[in-house]
Amino acid sequence: MEEVWDAQTLLAAYEVMRRLRLDRFAGVVSAGKEARIYRAIDRQGRSYAVKIYLTATAEFRKSIWKYLLGDPRFSGIDTSNTKKLFFAWARKEYRNLLRMYEAGVRVPKPYLVYKNIVVMEFIGKDGLRAPLLREIARELSREEAVMLAKEALKQYELIYCCARLVHADYSEYNLMYLDGRLYVIDVAQAVSLDHPNSSLFLHHDLENIHRFFSRQLKIELPEVEELERWVTSCQRKCRREKEARLP
């Protein structure tokens, strides 16, 4: 069903449910070419986001090479084994989430990775996921748009300077909005600063932010090169304790 639930993924999901004492899955939150995200509920009624990668997606398999190759954390991957490749990709997302979370970046709190499944905090209310930034763009006042532009750059500065990562797919499609705050999502492709393509990915990320806020929302922003200098200057004091992530 939904290209997700083969026998191996079913067994992995049962193990995830056992470890986190989840009671049930409560439907699809998001569906993409490479993964499905489900809302799961534990025995105390708390919600989780469960991301399950589709291990049979050949097209996606081709697209992840540029993010894995050159990352010293995953240099020993058996690239001939498709399922192991996707297991490594899930681990990469979990480790990137954890690294960002501990650096103070506003990301979903990661709870568990097991095979091709990543479990994280559910960002939303009343069983509904929070909207993406692109989905609320037309509803924003100018003041809100200015505030969110600053917040998007602040979060990226934390990613770069404190987590020592480059997101590599930072845009209005990977930022969620809830109660006036932005949350960074979809971080599997994020690379460390010593990745050979990190500078290219950084420039592309900031081009995306400049395009969205400057061209689409008509917010005056410095040019991309200036944004890049500001983000990489790393003048912010990095606080790695979780208490820094105040609600």
**Active-site residue, 186 included:** yes
Q: Are 62 and 34 in contact (CB under 8 A)?
A: no
In one-letter notation, the amino acid at residue 69 is L
Contact 27, 38 (CB under 8 A): yes
Are 108 and 185 in contact by the 8 Å Cβ rule? The answer is yes
CA distances from 38 to 25, 119, 203, 204 (A): 7, 10, 32, 30
Phi/psi class of residue 45: alpha, beta or left (left: φ > 0; alpha: ψ in -120 to 50)?
Answer: left
Looking at residue 73, the DSSP 8-state letter turns out to be G
**Residue 70: CA atoms inside 13 Å, Cβ hemisphere, count?**
14
Nearest to 191 by CA among 231, 173, 164, 230: 164
Catalytic residue among 78, 126, 169, 179: 169
CB 175 within 8 A of CB 133: yes
Q: How far apart are CA 95 and CA 72, in angstroms?
A: 13
Q: Round to whole Å and give the CA distance between 209 and 145.
A: 12
Residue 179 annotated in active site: no
Q: Can you tell me the distance from the alpha carbon of 26 to that of 84, in angstroms, rounded to the nearest whole number? A: 28
Could you tell me if 160 and 166 are in contact, meaning their C-beta atoms sit under 8 angstroms apart? yes
Catalytic residue among 42, 71, 78, 186: 186
Report the catalytic residues: 169, 186
